[in-house]
Amino acid sequence: MDRELTREEKRIYDGIMFSPGDPELVALKLKAHNLSTDYSMTHEDEYEKRKAILQELIGELGENVRVQGPIFFHYGCHTKLDDGVFINYGFTCQDDAQVTVGKGVAFGPNCTIVTPLHPMILEERRGGVKDPDGNVKACWAKPVTIGNYCWIGANVVICPGVTIGEGCVIGANAVVTRDIPPRTFAAGNPCRVIREITEADTMKNHPEILGDCTVTV
């Protein structure tokens, strides 16, 4: 990020309650929402136009990132997409806090990343938390980190504060509420580790699927 954080962004990054209606935050979100709409209205083969929009939308954009669209980023500038990330259609990223996506991560259709949280108590959620100056603080946020070369299945929801380790596979429709260790297969609601991914999972064991292909790693 090549700009100074706003006052409320600093609160977000410190993990304390902030005001989502702060004018500076609203301006950042409006820009991201409009750019998300612009991207979602492009054709898949408008490569240069899509790249230009992503470069303006995303805080840190790696090389060879592919995003099908439609998309929705809440801030965009709080997200890092590393080299070779692939995002299938229907992607939502509510990146109030930082979202870091590692190299070669692949998302299936209709995945969602969420970072903000709200008080459980109704009265607190409806304006009952204020800073020393009397300003309402409605929510806080926790960062999400996805390690290199993960495969995130269709319709997965990744919740605030989650870290998914390198090389994981997350099964379709999972709701990830806790950290997932590297090189594991996890699925379910709430998502849980099913097992480690081992050499037993190699495609060498499935010649009927490999056909005339060869495993080269």
CA-to-CA dists, residue 81 to 24, 67, 75, 178, 179, angstroms: 24, 11, 14, 21, 19
pLDDT band at 1 (very low <50, low <70, confident <90, very high): low
Q: Which two tokens stand for residue 38?
A: 């612009």
Q: What percent of the chain has pLDDT above 90?
A: 97
Q: What is the pTM of this model?
A: 0.95
pLDDT at position 3: 80
pLDDT band at 175 (very low <50, low <70, confident <90, very high): very high
The amino acid at residue 9 is E
Instruction: Give all domains of the chain, ordered by start, each with its CATH number.
Output: 7-210 (2.160.10.10)
Give dist(CA 60, CA 63) in Å, integer: 10
Q: Is the pLDDT of residue 128 over 80?
A: yes
Q: Is the pLDDT of residue 2 over 80?
A: no
Does the annotation mark 118 as catalytic?
Answer: yes
pLDDT at position 203: 95
Task: Tell me the pLDDT tens digit for each residue of 7-56.
Answer: 999 999 999 999 999 999 999 999 999 999 999 999 999 999 999 999 99
Catalytic entry in 33, 74, 78, 118? 118
Phi/psi of residue 57, each to 5°?
Answer: -85, -45
Task: Tell me the pLDDT tens digit for each residue of 56-99.
Answer: 999 999 999 999 999 999 999 999 999 999 999 999 999 999 99
Q: Output 135 or 106, whichever has higher pLDDT.
A: 106
CA-to-CA dists, residue 190 to 52, 65, 143, 180, 210, angstroms: 37, 29, 19, 12, 33
Q: Is the pLDDT of residue 120 over 90?
A: yes
pLDDT at position 204: 94
pLDDT at position 183: 98
